[in-house]
Amino acid sequence: MGFLTPLLLGGIALIAIPVVLHLVMRQQPRELTFPALRFVKQRRDSNRRKMKLRHWLLLALRCLLIAGLAIALARPTFKGTGLHGKDGAPLAVNLVIDNSLRMEYVQANESRLEKAKKTALELVEKLPEDATVAVCDLGRAAHGYAPDLSAATSRLQNLRPTAEARPLVDGVLESIKLAAEQEDRRQEVFVFTDLSQGAWNDEGLKEINNALSAAPDVRIYIVDVGVADPKNSSLGELQVRRSVLRPGEPLHLEAEIRSNLQSESPLVELSLRNEEGKLQKRSEAIAAFDPQGQGRVVFEIPNLPLGTHQGSVNLAATDPLIVDNTRYFTVEVRPPAKVLLLATQPADALFVEKALGASLGDASRFDVTVKTFADLEKAKLEEFSAVALLDPGPLPAEAWNSLWDFAAGGGGVGIFLGHHAAGELESFNSEPAQRLLPGKLKRVSRAETYLRPRRLDHPALAGLRNYAEELPWQICRVFQYWTFDKSNDSDTYVIAGYANDKPAFIERPAGKGRVLVSTTPFSDPLEPEGREPWNTLPAQPWPFVALVDQLIGYLAQDGDERLDYLAGEVARVQLSPQQQVASYVLHLPDGQAGSRVATSGDDELAVSITDELGNYRLTAGGQSQRLDRGFSVNASGTISDLTRFDPEKLTGALPKDRVRLAENLEAVEQYVDVGRSGRELFPWMIGLVAVIWGAEHLLANRFYREEKGKD
Amino acid sequence: MAAVEKYLKPEVIRQISRLDLRAQFIVKGFMQGLHASPFHGFSVEFSEHRKYSHGDNPQDIDWLVYAKTDKYYVKKFEAETNITGYLAMDLSGSMAYRYQNELSKFEYSTCLAAALCYLMVHQQDPVGLVTFGEKIIDVLPPKSKRQQIGNVLSHLARLKPRAKTDIATSLIQLAAMLRHSSLVMIFSDLLVDPEPVLAAMRRLKHGGHEVIVFHVLDQAEVDFPFDGLVELRDPETQERIEVDADGFRKDYLKAIGEFRETYKRECAKSRIDYLPLHTGMPFDKALMEYLLSRRNMG
């Protein structure tokens, strides 16, 4: 119990007035002659007692009336079960508002974010003028206290849902820290959340708990603006089999669908942007759900022309959360990579050539040219993406140099050593050759072994990762292989080795390009004449084709490229080594476009403004700078996770006396009022005074009615 | 009837200043109202025959005597017995009390007494008057002559209430004084202890006298119409009591009710006629009571 204006309690002293009046100015009775006094006498005593009682009652009522009025005007407050903080100190209020896309869930014609904003605005309206307010959303920008309440109000009003939302817990932690800095104020943090599992988790609660113990004066009010039983259909992340396609290769795309709407199976549409930039429906599928409400749709779009293709997959369902019904994708159709195979005679290149050509049937990833080492001098290497030397013999220094230049300019050089190198160590250990090779050739090891890559995490072999269990490495027997002296250069890297841990494939960067050395040949016949075979690799089509495809693809820098990003991530668009881009135009999903300058010398374009969901496009004109690339930005899968977090778990995990969970503004106000300045008892008090006044009036009227009549 | 009955109300009687006229007014109004009643002619009886003379009512001719004698005789009627009546007036100070009504208790009693006197003398009954305070003050011996009306009325008109009263002593005194059985009509507010009074009344009754008690109270004493804080003063003893009238009314009404009930019960036991009256009541009730009592004595 406390008083807002305790000075007015002095008014209680005015009680003296009725007491004095009662004692001094006693009411004079009306005198009447009455002969039947004997009957009055009989009952006089009880009547006199009643009279006295009534007199005192009247006096008491009047005193009470004055005291009640004085107490009411002193504005008593009741401090009950609220969260106690620094009494009487001005407020520092931190409003954490979850503005992730999940908060766009619409119920009663109002999104969760709108409800949160409305509640927060009502709260700010009721704050005293001396309160400072910080509005913290889940955007990436730093937050601080608003200069005044109206600034805080406008910040709240301007809150928009953001795709690149931080976890809510981060926002809460930031606010706790911010509040704790206001040491001379009451530190209060209001968290407006939909209480979904997407926002809350056990680890986050632990972190909040820790932060609260570091900031002992901070109180948290969690305002639940969510819905009890959320209904939603959502499209999961798109799985594009290959984002870089070759001509003729179909676009293969799968999407997972979840729904708890229990309505008919919805239609899923795939649209592609046409040349004019408009979305055009290209395919559709009906999503069938299993009893758990999960389904899967698969799209295959054949015959995409060369170039960048962007589009979206749309779940044609009407549910309260629309934002997770659409997902965007970008794929590129590129011309086949040009690969030059060099061998002593063209027949030697047969295995590799077939392996490259057969890798994808008709739609080959590679445009293969076979030449002999004798043609090396004449060959225009810059026309190719990669050059593979299959079992090279000694080469002139010019040839090594031109290969080095080719590699340094961005090309890929593969050197598959074999029996032609034997006895020709001078050429290989010469200086020009050593710029490409990982070290000096030492000898041929004849310890029988087999190819056994331990890990498939190197990009050159990453494509095999999905089949790791099915690859029969044991049958890739190797009888002879080259060994190197230990090189001083630290930039060599063993991509894969043999079962005896000796290196099989060694990579070495060369300028913008790369060099890959295999210590055993890929072109050796199984039964050579007059010598022992080196290995049985080409005899095993399954690992061999895949291995060749991966290694040559790696050399040609023809890997899959990431064209799909989450909102908030920095998107990186790889440029080809020959491409020079000084500036480009970035087209945003909303149709806006802006010119941007590329950092010179970089082999990628970085785009950091990815807060909008949709397809981004990068274009540049000119001959040498010609660019038409793109990427897609999607929201993270957590925005579809609307499952309610157990409120009891939430309150149970946090300190009870410092955290309150409220379902609406009234509950918030109740906690806040009671905790902050107590609940005002003025209305009750004044009501009580009115009742006392009425009673006094009634009683006094009975006493004085006759006197007034006389007057 | 209604026109006649209105003359029986105290507020009408009050407008007449002369007591004899008041008495006539009351009695005539009462008798007129009585014509339709079954009590007609009950108090008088055949006495003797006399010769019919001009002016006599032909209805009174006795046709049996005419058949025997061929002469007209009329029946002469007179009261069967002569009852000596005493009007006993209480002169206590409290009888002068009047709150809002037209008549005080004393005036009401006087009017009533005058009317009864008038009625009795007209029936050939001798009427006397006894006034008492703390003891018997004055006695007017009973007579049945017509002048007695004038005597009694003039005496009554001169009476004034005095200070104190002692009804029991006065009644005992009266009982000792009366030699023949008489009808004693007591007019009093009886605002003393009831026991001695009742004892005195019984004594009168045992002395062979018929007793009618006209218990006259002021309407205010019956209804207690006060409210607010009042200080009540007894006119006889000058005693004062302060009460809250509103809170007290219920108690008072209960007390006065018990008081009247005691008299009614005790009087009934002793075959004394007890008539509770108040100054707001019409007179006919009192007169009727007298007539009923008169018949019972017959």
Q: How do residues A569-589 score in pLDDT, each as one tens digit? A: 888 888 876 677 788 889 888
Which CATH topology does B2-34+80-297 take? Rossmann fold (3.40.50)
Tokens encoding A544: 């061999």
Closest residue in chain A to residue B236, using alpha carbons only: A35
Q: Are A480 and A464 in contact (CB under 8 A)?
A: no
Predicted confidence at residue A81, as pLDDT, reads: 42
Chain B positions in Cβ-Cβ contact with residue A703 (cut-off 8 Å): 228-229
d(CA A644, CA A105): 13
Contact A102, A135 (CB under 8 A): no
Q: What CA–CA distance (Å, rounded) separates A595 from A598?
A: 10
Answer yes or no: do A43 and B252 touch at CB < 8 A: yes
pLDDT of A120 above 70:
yes
Q: What is the mean pLDDT of residues B40-47?
A: 46
Alpha carbon distance A242, B99 (integer Å): 119
Instruction: Take residue B91 and report the two structure tokens written for it.
Output: 């002169």
Task: Pick the closest to residue A553 from A371, A338, A305, A362 (CA basis).
Answer: A338
Residues of B in contact with A26 (CB under 8 A): none
- Distance of residue B248 Cα from the nearest chain A Cα, in angstroms: 6
Higher pLDDT, A44 or A270: A270
Which residues 24-83 of chain A have a CB within 8 Å of chain B?
27, 29-44, 46-48, 50-51, 54
What is residue B180's predicted lDDT score, i.e. its pLDDT? Answer: 79
Contact A448, A479 (CB under 8 A): yes
Q: Which two tokens mark A292? A: 């758990």
Of B93, B229, B240, the CB nearest to A30: B229
Does A698 touch chain B if contact means CB atoms closer than 8 Å? no
For residue B7, pLDDT over 60 is answered with: no
Neighbours of A513 (CB within 10 A): 22
Residues 6+ apart with CB under 8 A from A535: A451, A476, A477, A478, A479, A480, A481, A520, A521, A524
Average pLDDT of the residues in A171-177 = 89
What percent of chain A stands above pLDDT 90? 7
* Interface contact A37-B233, CB threshold 8 A: yes
| Tokens linked to A383 | 């026309």
Rounded to an integer, the average pLDDT of B113-136 is 84
CB pairs under 8 A between A and B: 99
Tell me the nearest-neighbour CA distance from B98 into chain A, angstroms: 9
Does the structure show a pLDDT above 90 at B193? no
Among the partner residues A31, A39, A47, nearest to B256 by beta-carbon distance: A39
Query: Tokens representing B66?
Result: 């005419």
Mean model confidence pLDDT for chain A: 83
Question: Does residue A414 surpass a pLDDT of 90?
Answer: yes
- The contacts of residue A290 (CB under 8 Å, 6+ apart) are none
> pLDDT tens digits for A15-30?
888 788 777 766 677 8
Q: How many residues does chain A have?
A: 711
Domains in chain A (CATH in brackets) are 2-79+681-710 (no CATH), 91-230+647-677 (3.40.50.410), 233-334 (2.60.40.1930), 337-555 (3.40.50.880), 564-634 (2.60.40)
Express as a percent the part of chain A with pLDDT over 70. Answer: 91
Q: Closest-CA residue in chain A for B238?
A: A33
Domains of chain B, by residue range, sit at 2-34+80-297, 44-79
Res. A310 pLDDT band, cuts 50 70 90: very high
Q: Give the angle B126-B132-B135 at the CA atoms, nearest 5°.
A: 125
Which residues of A fall within a CB distance of 8 Å from B234? 33-35, 37
Burial level of B216, CB count in 10 A (0-12/13-18/19+)?
A: buried
Whether residue B9 is predicted with pLDDT greater than 70 in this model: the reply is no
Q: Taking 70 as the threshold, does the pLDDT of residue A625 lie above it?
A: no
> Could you give the CA distance from residue A658 to residue B47 in angstroms, rounded to a whole number?
119
Instruction: Output the pLDDT for position A329.
Output: 92
Count CB atoms within 10 A of the CB of residue A518: 27
DSSP A377: T
Query: Is A27 in Cβ contact with B252 (below 8 Å)?
Result: no
pLDDT at A709: 40
Find the Cα–Cα–Cα–Cα dihedral A138, A144, A150, A151, rounded to 10°.
-80
pLDDT confidence bin for A672, thresholds 50/70/90: low
Q: What is the arithmetic mean of pLDDT over A167-186?
A: 87
pLDDT at A623: 58
CB pair distance less than 8 Å for A31 and B231:
yes
* Half-sphere exposure (Cβ direction) of A260: Cα atoms closer than 13 Å: 10
Residues of chain B found within 8 Å of residue A51, distances taken between Cβ atoms:
229, 242-244, 247
Beta bridge partners of A270: A283, A313
Say what the pLDDT of residue A85 is: 47
Contact in structure between A278 and A285 (CB atoms under 8 Å): no
Interface-testing mutation among A34, A44, A702, with chain B (most B C-beta atoms within 10 A): A34
Question: Are residues A32 and B97, on separate chains, in Cβ contact within 8 Å?
Answer: no
Chain B CB contacts of A53 under 8 Å are: none
